[in-house]
Amino acid sequence: MTQMSAISAPAICPVSPDGICDLGTPRSFDDRSGRVGAVSVLRCRHCGVGVTHPPLADVAFLYEGRGSQDFQPTTVGLARTIKDIAFRRDARRLVRYLSATPRRLLDFGCGSGLFTRCLGDVLPGCEVVGSDFHDEPPAELADRRYVPNARLVQESADFDAVIAMHVIEHDDDPVALVRRIAAMARSGGTVVLEVPNIDCVWANIFGEAWDAWYVPFHRIHFNRASLRSVVENAGLVVERESDVCLPSMGRTLANLAGARNTLFFLLAGVVLHPVQWALERLTGRPSALRIAARKP
Ligand SMILES: [Zn+2]
């Protein structure tokens, strides 16, 4: 009990550094990385943000060798075809989401690079650049532009659009990370962020099996207010906020079954997607949140 009350102490709010969070009772999770040990999520009683414990000042070690699920380990055959179709559709949607067609676009935290590649395909004439922790590009971007995070400082910071899809929840200090992301956009450029929603209807239904908890990889768990707060505190002007239905039923079912995420679960996720979409619409509690902001 002593230990529990110690980590429930007030803490600096990760999405609004001038504020103090009143972190509630820790909720325990399995360590999906196998490298951290006991992990838990604490939720602020005031602002609703969720914080993964223990804190990790540098998370790069979690992604060594691109072994985590974030890099969509090589898929072939039908699984590959399904992902190609889904990512290409999402890329077209993202392009429509931007207020103007960009001439230069940066995909910060590009992971497997498949989405970056699809963006390049649907945006002919736009220079699409992927960026991530690693020195070498992911296989998907072998013949595309890739700049390691550490070398972004050498790149002209004049991107019309900088996107970070499911990225800022991977860092203990999302305000500092959003500042780094936004630093690459030109003045008047657009920054688009997408994160899982801690207030998602599925978090209640599936509990710890809901795939978007994904701890310790996910460090900060946002709701609408905390996502807006992080964007404003990073000096950006919020322009649009939207709900996103993130296909996560397949992986959630695999978690429930304690099984690997095989083609069977991918297909189950495809079949259940309309149900997922409908319940998120009905409840107004989507699986993911998107925000577009303007850099002043
Ligand atoms: Zn708080």
Q: What is the pLDDT of residues 156-208, one digit of tens each?
A: 999 999 999 999 999 999 999 999 999 999 999 999 999 999 999 998 888 88
Q: How far is the CA of 23 from the centre of ligand 1 (A)?
A: 7
Ligand 1 is an ion; residues with CB less than 5 A from it: 13, 21, 44, 46-47
Q: How far is the CA of 110 from the centre of ligand 1 (A)?
A: 29
Output 7 or 40, whichever has higher pLDDT.
40
179: left (phi over 0), alpha (psi -120 to 50) or beta: alpha
Q: What is the mean pLDDT of residues 138-160?
A: 94
Range in 56-70, 201-215, 223-237, 267-281 the model is least confident about: 56-70
Q: Per-residue pLDDT tens for 223-243?
A: 999 999 999 999 999 999 999
pTM of the shown model:
0.91
Q: Tokens 């990889």 appear where? A: 217
Per-residue confidence at 116, pLDDT binned at 50, 70, 90? very high
Beta bridge partner(s), residue 290: 194, 242
List, in order, residues 6 or more apart from 102 with CB less than 8 Å away: 123, 126, 159, 160, 161, 190
Q: How far is the CA of 242 from the centre of ligand 1 (A)?
A: 22
Q: How far is the CA of 61 from the centre of ligand 1 (A)?
A: 27
Mean pLDDT for all residues in the chain: 90
- What's the pLDDT at 2? 37
Q: How far is the CA of 101 from the centre of ligand 1 (A)?
A: 36
Q: How far is the CA of 263 from the centre of ligand 1 (A)?
A: 39
CA distance readout (Å), 234 to 32, 178, 211: 30, 6, 28
List, in order, residues 6 or more apart from 258 with CB less than 8 Å away: none
- What's the pLDDT at 99? 82
- Rounded to 10°, the helix 174-182/224-233 angle is 60
- What's the pLDDT at 270? 86
Choose among 189, 188, 192, 159: nearest CA to 178: 192
Q: How far is the CA of 211 from the centre of ligand 1 (A)?
A: 23
Q: How far is the CA of 9 from the centre of ligand 1 (A)?
A: 12
CA separation for the pair 217, 73 (Å, rounded) = 16
Per-residue confidence at 9, pLDDT binned at 50, 70, 90? low
Q: How far is the CA of 48 from the centre of ligand 1 (A)?
A: 6
Q: How far is the CA of 198 from the centre of ligand 1 (A)?
A: 13
Q: How far is the CA of 47 from the centre of ligand 1 (A)?
A: 4
Q: How far is the CA of 11 from the centre of ligand 1 (A)?
A: 8
